[in-house]
Structure formats: structure tokens, C-alpha cells
Chains A and B, each alone.
Chain A
Amino acid sequence: MNPGRCAACRYLRRRCPPDCIFSPYFPPNNPQRFVSIHRIYGASNVAKLLQQLPSHLRTQAADSLYLEAQYRIEDPVYGCVGLISLLQQQIHDVERQLAMTQAEIAFRARHPQAVESNLLNNVGNPSFSNQASSWFM
């Protein structure tokens, strides 16, 4: 048995050649990394993908494949797409808050004499934002 085999060749129980496509990215001290990737993508698909890339991009590719594989193992239904949905929703919420705040600012700029406490209490209130917006429609 060759003690210098990479994690992939160890897992696949084969000889690790000097030009092994996996060995720079799957060191023997982290066997779980290849196990995760193999479970989701399979060795052959990962080898093809890495071979298609210039060598200076393969580390990032292996890292991102590992991350995606981990997400899919933890959430077999949505994988990392669940996180994408969550981020899109959060972005939508912040965009909405930003639009409301900008509407308040525009209202203030036009009506500086508006009652102070009433305006401050209504920051973030969608119905008030509609009312404020209607002043300059």
C-alpha cells in the first residue's frame, strides 16, 4: 500500500499516480472532503470537471464543489439553493426598508414642518409610507 496516496485514491482503493488529478486538492489528511464530493458528484464527474479547468482555478473549483456537496448532504431537498432563496428574500426585505426610508427622507425634505413624533413613530410602517409617497405623486 502506498502511504503517499491522496484521499481520493485511498477512497477509491487505487494507485495514486504522480499526475493524479485529485491529489493537489484532496490531501490524505482530510478524507471527509473527498467522501462528501464523491457522494454527490461521483469521482468521474469531478475528475472531468477539474480536467476541463486551467490548473490555477482547480483549487477554487474543488473548494466550491465541497461546499455545495456539504449543503446538499445537510439538506437533500434544496442544497445550497435554500441559502440562495433565503438571501434573495433578505435582500428583498432590505430593499423594501430602504425604499420606505428614502420615501420618508423625500417627504421630510418637502415638509420640514411635519409633526416630529408622528413621523418618527411611523418609520417602517408600510401604510404610512404609502401616505408619505402620495404627497409627491
Chain B
Amino acid sequence: MRSHEPRSTSSCAACKLLKRRCSPTCIFAPYFRSDEPKKFTKVHKVFGASNVSKILIEVPEEQREDTVNSLVYEAEARLRDPVYGCIGAIALLQRKMIELQHDLALARARLARYAANYSTGVAGTELDRLTMTGLGEFLVACGGFMDSFNQSSSYQVNQDAHMYDLTQIPYVYHDQL
């Protein structure tokens, strides 16, 4: 009778899915434990084992855990939203950022009016007019960018084409105020 080598009982999730022997130097083993099979399934489905391996080999060992975590995050985003993936999340965050900066500008203008009203005792002062002019210019600049996101008010995946203007990514924020 042929003798069989004992099967390894410590295959990582990657080698289990790929149905291969998990070597002691397996690049996946430290990051894809056998008790987390879904983690590797996700990255394999989006990136492929070979590409994940190449990416991990490229980065220093101390950064591989962060690399795996970001690949898993990206894979999950892409599986949830096959059209936009993480880019959809970026677009939503940028829209939220613009709305918040708008709100902050309004709040600061209101606060400045309190100061102006106290110092002069009269509503509608010169400071008030200047503050509103600056605010007006800022809001016009924001409005142009917001137009490209006005086609959908909610994150409806796979529902609308041309939902996001990808030419606006990344939008670099500067302190406008």
C-alpha cells in the first residue's frame, strides 16, 4: 500500500481555497487565517490570488498587514457596489465635505454678524456686507462642483448611470475660510 503523507492541518485560508499545500513561507498565511475564510474569498474574487501575492511581495513586511486590510476593504466595497466600488464612497465623502464647509461658512458668517451688531449696535453693517460677499463667492465656487453630484441624492448602487463625475476625483480641499 502506498503510504500517504499526513495532511497539513494548518493551511491558511488562501491555500485552502486554492487547494494547495500551505508552505511555511506562504505569503498569505500570516494575514489570511483559516478561521477567516471569507476574507480571502473576497480579495480573491476581486483581485485574484496571483495579484494579491504580487502586491504583498512588493511592500515591506511590516506594511503587509495594512496592505491586506486595505485590499479587503476595497474588495468589500467593490462586491457591494460593482459599478463604483470605493470610488463611490470617495464621491459621497467629498459631497459631505462640501456640505459641511458650506454649513461652517454660514455659521461663521452668522457669528461675525453677532460681533458686528454688538460693536456698532446696528444691523446690516459694513462688516456684515463684506462677510456676505466673501460667503457668496465661496458658495458659487461650491455650487459648480455640487452640480456634478446633483443627479442623485442617495447612494443607489447600480441604479443610475453617470451618477458621479469621476473627473472631480480627487478634489483637493483648501481652507476657504
Contacts and interface: CB of A to CB of B under 8 A. Distances in A.
Nearest to B51: A42
B55 interface: yes
B83 interface: yes
A88 B78 CA distance: 19
A108 B103 CA distance: 18
- Band of interface residues on B: 35 or more
Contact of A79 (B58, B70, B158, B170): B70
A87 B104 contact: no
Interface string B45-75: 1111011000100110001001100110110
Given A42-B47, A87-B97, A68 B87 contact: yes
Contacts of B96: 91
A63 to B, nearest CB: 5
Interface residues of A, number: 48
Contacts of A60: 83-84, 161-164, 166
A83 interface: yes
B89 A64 contact: no
A53 B78 CA distance: 13
Interface in B95-115: 96-97, 100-101, 103-104, 107-108, 110-111, 114-115
A115 B105 CA distance: 23
A99 B3 CA distance: 72
Q: Is the interface of A mostly helix, strand, loop or mixed?
A: helix
The listed residue with most B CB atoms (<10 A of its CB), out of A39, A59, A83, is A83
A-B pairs, top 8 by smallest CB distance, nearest first, are A64-B87, A81-B70, A87-B93, A101-B107, A94-B100, A42-B48, A108-B114, A80-B86
Interface of A: 39-42, 44-45, 49, 52-54, 56-57, 59-61, 63-65, 67-68, 72, 76-84, 87-88, 90-91, 94-95, 97-98, 101-102, 104-105, 108, 112, 116, 119-120, 123
23 contacts: A40-B55, A41-B48, A41-B51, A45-B47, A45-B48, A49-B78, A61-B82, A64-B83, A64-B85, A72-B74, A76-B55, A76-B59, A80-B86, A80-B87, A80-B90, A84-B93, A94-B101, A98-B100, A98-B107, A101-B104, A112-B118, A116-B118, A116-B119
